[in-house]
Amino acid sequence: MIPRAHREVPEAFCAPGPAALGACRRRASRGLAAVIDAHHHVWDLRVRDQDWITGPSLAPLRRNFSAADYRAAAPGVIASVVVQTVTVPEETPELLAQGFAGVVGWTDLTAPDVADQIARLRGLPGGGALAGIRHQVQSEPDPGWLTRPDVLRGLAAVADASLVYDLVITAGQLAAAAAAAAAVPQLRFVLDHLGKPPIVVGQVSPWAADLRRLAALPNTSAKLSGLVTEADWRHWQVADLRPYADTALDAFGPDRLMFGSDWPVCTLAAGYDDVLAAARDLTAALSPAEREAIFSGTAQRIYGLRTGPVPP
């Protein structure tokens, strides 16, 4: 929990909603010299299909999003972590070659040779940027997938390689995530998108209690990311996100919470600037040191990043 005495009273909170965040961007930018984006994606449909982009609502994502596009959208970012999107072995080497500070890639955790596969990725061009592994657990039909013996064996291999494991799960899978984190205490788990709480319906329980159980484990941290696309895409307001961000801040604290844009998925509901402005508003009452942790320090420490320019 963040002691009240360590909080600052902001000069003014941002006006709610994506249409009124221009002033927020200007106010919230003060005192934040650096931003590390702990979660974004790139893809090229000419190279590989993104089979999860289906239906008319996701149609705006059915185009290429390159590193150059990301740099144009996020000019103030000093370093970033690019995250896998499809469960095929060919994607991760492509991400490693693009020069991002960190890569969360994919490998089959259930494979008997998972340790060898991780070592192979490390030996590829750009392999030093491999910071973590992720699997689309949210799409697994087995609610206990994370606690299967073969998966736990794979997670132990990730830990042995000194990598992080990113959890992309639904709110209903938080309990299984906590069980896996307890079973592999030597592995650092990072929860993406706060476990996708049901913001669009304004429901906090039982998500909040499940999130706190995960956060009670010292080998866990989380990303303040992906919230706008769990809200009403057209009519979300910062106030809609605040109960979830406040719960995460209280549960994890700034030293285990990090900003992620979830670009370009976020563009379904908001541009990069609006997502960053909302995150700054949600953290405006924190001290400068706490904000610095969320917007750069936590990601740099958890992922072991060497900061540098975002690639062209």
**Interval 104-146: pLDDT, tens:** 999 999 999 999 999 999 999 999 999 999 999 999 999 999 9
Domain at 85, CATH number: 3.20.20.140
Angle at CA of residue 139, ends 137 and 143, nearest 5°: 65
Residue in 99, 20, 154, 95 with CA at minimum distance from that of residue 307 = 99
Do 224 and 259 form a contact (C-beta atoms < 8 A)? yes
Q: How many domains does the chain have?
A: 1
**Is residue 248 one of the residues assigned to a domain?**
yes
Of 231, 173, 169, nearest in space to 198 by CA = 231
pLDDT score for 24 = 39
Band (21; pLDDT cuts 50, 70, 90):
very low
Q: What is the pLDDT of residues 217-249, one digit of tens each?
A: 999 999 999 999 999 999 999 999 999 999 999
pLDDT at 29: 43
CB contact at 8 A, 225 and 196: no
Exposure letters 38-50 (e unless 16+ CB within 10 A, then b): bbbbbbeeeeeeb
Task: Decide if pLDDT at 25 tops 60.
Answer: no
Q: Which domain holds residue 125?
A: 12-303
Look at residue 208 and tell me if it is in a domain.
Answer: yes
Residue type (1 letter), 228: V
The Cα 164–Cα 190 span in angstroms is: 7
Residue 32 confidence (pLDDT): 55
Quick check: is 144 in a domain? yes
Q: Is residue 32 part of a domain?
A: yes
Residue 175 lies in a domain: yes
Q: Would you say residue 70 lies in a domain?
A: yes
Q: Establish if 182 belongs to a structural domain.
A: yes
Report the alpha-carbon distance of residue 310 to residue 81 in Å, rounded.
10
Residue of 198 and 6 predicted with greater confidence: 198
In a domain, 311, yes or no: no
**How confident is the prediction for the chain on average, in pLDDT?**
90
- Tens of pLDDT along 153-200? 999 999 999 999 999 999 999 999 999 999 999 999 999 999 999 999
